[in-house]
Structure 1
Amino acid sequence: MKRPPDHDDPHDIAGNSAAVDDEAHIAAHELGHDTDVAIDLVDELAAAHDHGDEAAVDLHLQRLRRALQRLRQDTSRLVAGRGGDLATVQRQPTNLATLVRRVVSAHPSGRHPIDTNLASVVLNVDPLKVERIVDNLLDNALRHTPPHCPVEIDLRAAPVGALVVVEDEGPGLPDHLCDALARDSDDPDAFAGAVGLWLIRRFARLHGGDLSVQRNVHGRPARFEVWLPARGGQPEAR
């Protein structure tokens, strides 16, 4: 009988270490993101209260409750040692238009109008990860667009799946992020200041999809496009 090796394969150790590092980046980013959303909602809630706008106060309270619930869910999952759930895909039939509306309604909206154009699309996807994709796309646009400039989010049916497109009037991507995307870098450290962009691409690729980005040039809005295929596997030619 062949004796098992006394030591772990160094390649396996390196691979496991990289996976743990990736999960840590995802968890740290998402917890930080959820906290930032909650803080922004508290600011909008305070402003609405100061202006005596009871309807806005109620709306922001509902949004804040959802943000805190998600923060609690993320924290509970990590404490239970299930951070690896973020690196797997658990598919179920999902109405993407309903999902996008839910994400939009949870975001602070005082500084930017959010325009939506949503086709009716149902795909077999991991709703948690697609929600994170849309959430990070929208958060990126809202944070980098000048005040009161609109952000547009479209959901389009495609022959082999669906497209989620976000356009904004922000400055677009800095050179180091364009370089990281062009090099197809898998290192989250290469996306310094924009780990959410790395996460969007990672979650899209877990579904067999991908992320493409067009910079803001010649007065045209920056454009972020995520393709999600109707089935899993490797991205198909589009």
Structure 2
Amino acid sequence: MGLLEGKVALVTGGAQGIGLAVATRYVEEGARVMLADLDGAAAQEAAATLGESAAGCAADVVDDGDVIRMIDATIDAFGRLDVLVNNAGITRDASLAKMTLAEFRQVIDVHLQGTWLGMKAALPVMKAQGEGGAIINMSSISGKIGNFGQSNYAAAKAGIVGMTKSVAREGAKHAIRVNAIQPGLIDSAMTRAMPQDIFAAKEADVPMKRAGQPEEVAGVAVFLASELSSYCTGITIEVAGGRHM
């Protein structure tokens, strides 16, 4: 029996990176998983690699109609919803002087509004089921310390922490736990796009002297979705190798 046996999860931004790593671990732990992504075809292709326990759908997390449809698609495919992972995200990095209002709003909308819409749609479904649930919101270490050129991203990721605590208070009496993860430097396509010397400098700043792997974030997501964290709500767990502790 896996840690998530019998559970149904929905992971946004599930076609690649951390989202796909989380979905993969969830399936390994016995869950059935819906992978939602802006690129619906990629979500379906990724789900196909995970077998019959996974499915994929298209969803723009900024669109409230799309968010409701991805919840409905999950229930249509698997009958219920026990776990929501709000993982979808983008970056539009630039210094404050060079960042456009459109770039600021894009990042705020995808991360902050997208997470809010996901929780707003999932919470009543979990309440109606009457068996509790788990919501996991993907923040970032940038939301704790700020990064140069990320005033939009840092603001959104810090906001996710506060929003997580507020909704955790609302869900607690229904046994719906709401927690957040703050990844640090994670080895992904996005971070590997950095110049090699900058990536190496960031790794050297990590006490563990390496970047994390998406699977290491996924391990924490399993913990927060499972009964191992049954008395944890409103918390934020850093997965950053000790960086900025």
Band of TM-score, shorter chain: under 0.3
- Pair member with larger Rg: 1
TM-score, normalised relative to structure 1: 0.26
